Amino acid sequence: MDKTFKVRLGYVAMSVILSNASPSQTMTVRQFEQILDQEAGIRKLERIASSNLNNCFRLLKHNKAHDISFFRLSSRLVPLANHPLTEGWRYEKALAPLLKEIGEFIIKENMRVDFHPDHFVVLNNNSKEILQQSLRTLSMHYKLIKGMGFSHVHRCVLHVGGKKAGREEGLEQFIENFAKIPRVIQEMIMLENDDVNYPLEDVLYIGEKLHIPVILDLHHFDVLHESTDLLALWERVVQTWKHSPLPIKIHISSPKDGKDDRKHHDFIDVQRFYDFLQLISGTVDQVDVMIEAKQKDKALLKLSEELSQLNSIQVQNPSSIMINSTPLS
């Protein structure tokens, strides 16, 4: 008997199909400092942030038109929000009406959205300054989510961090620092394996110990792993999600040049992805798949079309696919 489960595809932050819709317009620190009137500088930042949020809203409407219900929001929606120069700026208040409107749309359309703060957000560093700056950035994400009005639980993807002091030391420093951060920030976090420092086994060590959901990045696993028994590791990943209100999430991308290339290809290797889906068939009812490809929504639509050509797959819409264990044709 075939084992069937649902796969929901999503993509990252920007569209290559929808023009003039960047949600990541910014202002540099130098540009801000050159504005002599700080209030005028803050107003300009608010205009940029409003433009970013309006473009984010356009992207969400574009996604709805293409039946895409899974999306990563840009972490650059509000420029300089976490910089010391703008300390005290109540950007969440200034942007409240627009955040509320976007959030109502997300909730009404039953979309899953989340964030992936950049690599400067590091929780396993022994520097108090770096930790505090990381917490300021995560607090910004929390305020944006709160302003949109949906649950903050499991909405921010992080890597474990660096390993300058050693790999084991880095893991233990993460655990030590995690205990110091506010509960709502703890609740936001999901952890992902990377392709340089911390393989899936290390991330599972932390996820299982601290009850943090673990995201499998398949490309990162292919580049950096210890055990080759991906199914056994996957079963542990699944267990880290058992108390989450959201479906299990993974990341996929394909190497640009050669199987060990860390750089991302424009599109997704359908064979590698399909082999993984067959491997995990029967272990879950649903998995949400974030596509980290250079061609963004175009890559999603291409992958969906390629999957629809396979006998064992039923594509309900570009983002919603039913998979069974029939071999790839």
Three-state secondary structure readout of 215-227: EEEHHHHHHCCCC
| pLDDT tens, residue by residue, 244-254 | 999 999 999 99
For residues 232 and 211, give the distance between their C-alpha atoms in angstroms, rounded to a whole number: 18
Check residue 325 and give its pLDDT.
60
62: left (phi over 0), alpha (psi -120 to 50) or beta: alpha
Contact between residue 236 and residue 275 where contact means Cβ atoms under 8 Å apart: no
Q: Answer whether residue 279 is part of any domain.
A: yes
Q: Answer whether residue 35 is part of any domain.
A: yes
CATH number of the domain where residue 51 is located: 3.20.20.150
Check residue 138 and give its pLDDT.
97
- Indicate the pLDDT class of residue 237, thresholds 50, 70 and 90: very high
pLDDT over threshold 80, residue 285: yes
Q: Answer whether residue 90 is part of any domain.
A: yes
Q: Which of 2-16, 52-66, 69-83, 169-183 has the lowest mean pLDDT?
A: 2-16
Which value, in Å, is the radius of gyration of the alpha carbons in the chain?
Answer: 20
Q: Answer whether residue 257 is part of any domain.
A: yes
Check residue 328 and give its pLDDT.
41
The dihedral through the CA atoms of 33, 36, 41, 42 has a sign that is positive
> Residue written as tokens 């994400």?
141
Domain count, the chain: 1
| pLDDT tens, residue by residue, 53-93 | 999 999 999 999 999 999 999 999 999 999 999 999 999 99
What domain range is 35 assigned to?
A: 5-323
Per the prediction, the chain carries an average pLDDT of: 95
- Indicate the pLDDT class of residue 329, thresholds 50, 70 and 90: very low
For residues 216 and 287, give the distance between their C-alpha atoms in angstroms, rounded to a whole number: 11
- Indicate the pLDDT class of residue 259, thresholds 50, 70 and 90: confident
pLDDT over threshold 70, residue 47: yes
Check residue 76 and give its pLDDT.
97
> Residue written as tokens 């029939």?
326
The dihedral through the CA atoms of 203, 209, 215, 218 has a sign that is positive
Q: Answer whether residue 165 is part of any domain.
A: yes
Check residue 288 and give its pLDDT.
98
pLDDT over threshold 60, residue 326: no
- Helix or strand holding residue 32 (H, E): helix 29-33
Q: Answer whether residue 296 is part of any domain.
A: yes
pLDDT over threshold 50, residue 327: no
For residues 140 and 154, give the distance between their C-alpha atoms in angstroms, rounded to a whole number: 15
Residue 255 φ then ψ, to 5°: -65, 145
Contact between residue 271 and residue 327 where contact means Cβ atoms under 8 Å apart: no
For residues 210 and 320, give the distance between their C-alpha atoms in angstroms, rounded to a whole number: 32
| pLDDT tens, residue by residue, 264-274 | 999 999 999 99
- Burial zone of 178 (CB within 10 Å; 0-12 exposed, 13-18 middle, 19+ buried): middle
Q: Answer whether residue 329 is part of any domain.
A: no
Contact between residue 265 and residue 254 where contact means Cβ atoms under 8 Å apart: yes
| pLDDT tens, residue by residue, 82-131 | 999 999 999 999 999 999 999 999 999 999 999 999 989 999 999 999 99
From the list 320, 329, 271, 322, the residue with the least C-alpha distance to 300 is 320
pLDDT over threshold 50, residue 1: no
Q: Answer whether residue 100 is part of any domain.
A: yes
| pLDDT tens, residue by residue, 192-225 | 999 999 999 999 999 999 999 999 999 999 999 9
Q: Where are the beta strands (DSSP E) in the chain?
A: 5-12, 70-72, 112-114, 156-159, 189-192, 214-217, 248-252, 286-291, 313-317, 320-323
